[in-house]
Amino acid sequence: MALSHLFSSSRSSTLLKPLTTSYLLRRPISTDSTPLTIETSVPFTSHQCEAPSRAVDTSPKELLTFFRDMALMRRMEIAADSLYKAKLVRGFCHLYDGQEAVAIGMEAAITKKDAIITAYRDHCAFLGRGGNLLQIFSELMGRIDGCSRGKGGSMHFYKKDANFYGGHGIVGAQVPLGCGLAFAQKYSKDEAVTFALYGDGAANQGQLFEALNISALWDLPVILVCENNHYGMGTAEWRAAKSPAYYKRGDYVPGLKVDGMDALAVKQACKFAKEHALKNGPIILEMDTYRYHGHSMSDPGSTYRTRDEITGVRQERDPIERIRKLILSHDLATEKELKDIEKEMRKQVDDAIAQAKESPMPDPSELFTNVYVKGYGVESYGADRKEFRGVLP
């Protein structure tokens, strides 16, 4: 049997180089949890710290989960693009396709006790935290079954029970909030950390450095994750940053540059960063990644970069294709089985969209809810409910 051949005890601790071995035998999709060790695609680059090992512990089950989850995220974002063009999604919408390995690898290294806060490119982070497709598409279309009851839209996803704090539309403003979450974790002795995500465009924000300074002073358990997709809106990083080595930007704060298109490298880096933050305080992770769509739906994404550049990244670094090749090279599933998984993900997305379309729009009175704290006696009144009165406790 291929599985016993691959994972015999004499080889279970051997470092498996990615994409170097092919097997003639094929077997059904593996659910095996036998340990595998796979080397990251490129080394980590460190600043003020020792880089973690390139040898990442994983399993056949985890690799197949990575493939399934990233395929679902990819299909979800492509569907969101179509819904926007059909005018079923209004307002702002920022897609994550190409960057899925960051969300997947990060989740694999942490628990739901740890907190995540991010910017407006938040759909896949929400899904990774345990959100479902119905909540996502309902929120995108402004329906009441959305994760923010249809009032947040694409940029304001939220899942309190999984410590996912959004979803923020103001560039860079989520980073000080993330440091505040880390302060609360340390104050409460939670033994948990916060991952505060931002893009290379937000990396030049003054508030980021202010928050990092106080976090370092107080040794807060916060990991600043710069998702460097190389373009802040339509501005290339080299045009906006004199020093685009974002992992070194903390100066006195350690940093690590990671291949953000390699889910296993992201997992290893986040595991390392969590251990560091709990013991020593903040650390910066720069995820070298890439978005396939434009910055937002109004950006075709081809005026400031060539189509050849986008195609080259898809062919050489696509995070889903990397995992697909690993699965095939280690005989964990057949090509047909992986295509069947992708078909299944497409069906799940289509079914969720159909359900979301049936979800009702919020009642107009919902405009006046979630504004003031409940129980404080604040109410709106008048013909157009534009007047308010309240009683202080």
> pLDDT tens digits for 52-84?
999 999 999 999 999 999 999 999 999 999 999
Sign for the CA dihedral angle at 325, 331, 337, 343 comes to negative
Average pLDDT rounded to a whole number, residues 358-366: 91
Give Cβ neighbours of residue 88 (< 8 Å, ≥ 6 apart).
Answer: 140, 141, 357
Tell me how long the chain is.
393
Per the prediction, the chain carries an average pLDDT of 90
Give Cβ neighbours of residue 171 (< 8 Å, ≥ 6 apart).
Answer: 119, 201, 202, 205
- pLDDT greater than 90 at residue 12: no
Give all strands (DSSP E) within the chain, no chain letters.
36-39, 45-47, 55-58, 115-117, 194-199, 222-228, 231-232, 235-236, 255-259, 283-288, 379-381, 387-389
Question: How many angstroms separate the CA atoms of 319 and 208, rounded?
Answer: 28
Average pLDDT rounded to a whole number, residues 7-27: 39
Average pLDDT rounded to a whole number, residues 23-38: 67
352 close to 127: Cβ distance less than 8 angstroms: no
Pairing of strands 387-389, 379-381: antiparallel
Cα separation values, 41 from 16, 35, 139, 266, Å:
12, 19, 36, 11
Question: How many angstroms separate the CA atoms of 364 and 234, rounded?
Answer: 37
Give Cβ neighbours of residue 89 (< 8 Å, ≥ 6 apart).
Answer: 80, 83, 140, 141, 154
245 close to 87: Cβ distance less than 8 angstroms: no
For residue 167, cis peptide bond before it (omega within 30 degrees of 0) = yes
Model-level pTM?
Answer: 0.88
Question: How many angstroms separate the CA atoms of 45 and 43, rounded?
Answer: 6
Per-residue pLDDT tens digits for 203-258 = 999 999 999 999 999 999 999 999 999 999 999 999 999 999 999 999 999 999 99
Residue 29: pLDDT band (50, 70, 90) is low
DSSP symbol at 48: S
Angle at 271 between CA 267 and CA 276, to 5 degrees: 145
Residue 23: pLDDT band (50, 70, 90) is very low
Pairwise pLDDT comparison (33 vs 107), residue with the higher score: 107
Return the structure tokens found at 250.
Answer: 């903390």
Angle at 123 between CA 72 and CA 131, to 5 degrees: 75
- pLDDT greater than 90 at residue 5: no
Pairing of strands 45-47, 36-39: unpaired
Average pLDDT rounded to a whole number, residues 350-373: 89
Three-state SS at 269: helix
Q: What is the pLDDT of residue 381?
A: 72
Pairwise pLDDT comparison (26 vs 99), residue with the higher score: 99
Question: How many angstroms separate the CA atoms of 108 and 130, rounded?
Answer: 12
313 close to 284: Cβ distance less than 8 angstroms: no
Return the structure tokens found at 182.
Answer: 């880390």
Q: What is the pLDDT of residue 375?
A: 63
Residue with tokens 């809106």: 233
Q: What is the pLDDT of residue 25?
A: 40
Angle at 292 between CA 77 and CA 37, to 5 degrees: 85
Q: What is the pLDDT of residue 391?
A: 64
Q: What is the pLDDT of residue 28?
A: 56
219 close to 193: Cβ distance less than 8 angstroms: no
Average pLDDT rounded to a whole number, residues 139-162: 96
Of the chain, the percentage scoring pLDDT greater than 90 comes to: 82
Residue with tokens 């339509």: 234
- pLDDT greater than 70 at residue 376: no
List 228's β-bridge partners, or say none: 288
Angle at 65 between CA 4 and CA 25, to 5 degrees: 30
List 195's β-bridge partners, or say none: 116, 223
